[in-house]
Amino acid sequence: MNAADALALPPGLNRVLRGHAAVLSVNAGSSSLKFGVYAEHGPAVWSGEFQGLEPGGQPRLCVGGHDALPLPPRDSLGRFELALTLLVETLGRAGIRLKGVAHRIVHGGQRFVEPCLLDEPTLAALAELNPLAPLHQPHNLAGVRSLQKALPDLPQVGCFDTAFHAGMPAVEHRLPIDRSLWDQGVQRYGFHGLSYQFVMRELQRRTPRAAGRVLMAHLGNGASLCAALNGASVATTMGFSALDGLMMGTRSGSVDPGVLLHLWRQGQTVDEVETLLYKRSGLKGVSGLSADMRTLRASEAPAAREAIELFTYRLLREAGALLAVLGGVDVIAFTGGIGEHDAQLREDLLTRLTWLGTRPDAAANHDARGDRVAPIHAAGSPVEVWVVPTDEGRVAARATFALLRQQGLA
C-alpha cells in the first residue's frame, strides 16, 4: 500500500457524515501534523498523522492503523505544505462539508482562556507568546496560517492547552520571584489542558467519584500530572513552560536553576542549554538510547533500567505533592502513550501508593491497552483507577462547533 491509498477516506465516511457538518481538528508541531475529522458528537470518523516534516526528515503518513508510509514527493512543495495539500485534496474528493478548523494551540497566556476565532489581531497576540513556548507555539501558529491559505472560506478556531488550568488558585499560578515579573506574564500556566478536559469528562460520565478528588496523569513524550476538585484543575506539574515537573521523553522536567547557572558560567550558550533541556534530557538523556519507553523496556542495558526507574520515581514524587494539595484522592486516571499502554509503569506506581488505598486489579491492568476506557481497580477499592485514552482533537472539535453556533456561523 502507498500513502495515497492509505489516505483514502473509509468507504462509509460519507454515510456517517451525510446531512451533518464536520470539523477538521489539527495539531501542527515542528515535525508532525495530527488531524481528525469530527461530526458534532462522537470520536473522530477519520484521523491520522503526518510525521517526519522537520528539515531533513522523511515525510510519512500514519492512518487507519497502517504502518508509517512515505509520502509521494512534489518538487514545488515543502514537507508541511505537501502533507497539508494531500489532506485537503483528500477531503475535497470525498465531498466532506467542513464547517471550520479547530487548532490545538499550546499557549493562551493570561488572555486566551476560551476557544476563539483566529483573526489577524488574535494571531499577532498569540505570536507574542512564542518566547513562552518556543518549541511549540510558533509551529501551532504556522499551522493556522497554512490552513487559512488552504481553506480560506472556513473559520479557524484556537483551543488552548493552558485554558483548563486558568482557574487554578492564585497561589498555584504564582512563582516565588520578583513581583514585577507577574505583569510580564511570568507565572505558572500548566499544559495538556485539552487532554485533561477530555479525561475529566469521560470520568464524570462513568463514576460519581469524579466529582471529588482526582489525580490525572498524562504520560507520553510530554508528561504531566493534574490535580482536580469538582472537575476543575487546582494544581499541575507543568508551570511557566512545558519543561517543568515530570521527567519526559527528551525533556528534563524540574531541574535546580543552579544547574543552569553553572552551565552558563561554564560557557554554554542559551541555545545550547535550551537544546539540552528540551531534546537531550529525560528518558533519552538518562538512558543514552531512546526516548521511547517501549525501546527501553526491551533493552537489557543498565542505563535503560536506570532511566525507567528515575521516570517512575519522579512520577511518584510529584504525585505525592499533588495528593497533599488534594488532601487524598478518590480517582486516579492514566492517559497518554505511556499512561495508556505501559501496564508495568501503572503497576509500579500504584503498588507504591497502596498507603492511599489503591487496590489495582492485576488482570484488568494487564489487559488495558489504551483502546477503550477501562477501570483497573479491584472491587471495593477505596480509590478508583482508570485508563482513559485521550482525544484532544475531539475536545477542540466540540468547542469549535459550540463557538460557531454562538457566532452564528454553524
Burial 140-162 (b: 16+ CB within 10 A, else e): bbebbebbbeebeebbbbbbbbb
Read off the pLDDT of residues 49-63 as tens digits, 9 standing for 90 and up.
988 888 777 888 888
CATH class of 13-160: alpha beta
Q: Domain residues of the chain, as ranges?
A: 13-160, 208-392
Burial class for 95, CB neighbours closer than 10 Å (0-12, 13-18, 19+): exposed
- Known binding residue 27? Answer is yes
CA distances from 53 to 79, 91, 268, 295 (A): 5, 20, 29, 23
Q: Name the average pLDDT for the chain.
A: 92
Read off the pLDDT of residues 345-355 as tens digits, 9 standing for 90 and up.
999 999 999 99
Asked if 13-160 and 208-392 have one fold, the answer is yes
- Known binding residue 111? Answer is no
Read off the pLDDT of residues 151-191 as tens digits, 9 standing for 90 and up.
999 999 999 999 999 999 999 999 999 999 998 889 999 99
153 is catalytic: no
* Residue 17 pLDDT exceeds 70: no
Nearest to 100 by CA among 142, 31, 179, 158: 158
- pTM of the shown model: 0.93
Q: Which of 5, 161, 367, 371 is catalytic?
A: 161
* Residue 16 pLDDT exceeds 60: no
The whole-number pLDDT of residue 65 equals 62
38 falls in which pLDDT band (50, 70, 90)? very high
The whole-number pLDDT of residue 165 equals 98
The Cβ of residue 248 has, within 10 Å, a number of other Cβ atoms equal to 26
Topology classification of domain 208-392: Nucleotidyltransferase; domain 5 (3.30.420)
- Known binding residue 341? Answer is yes
Q: Which of 3-7, 206-210, 227-231, 305-309 has the lowest mean pLDDT?
A: 3-7
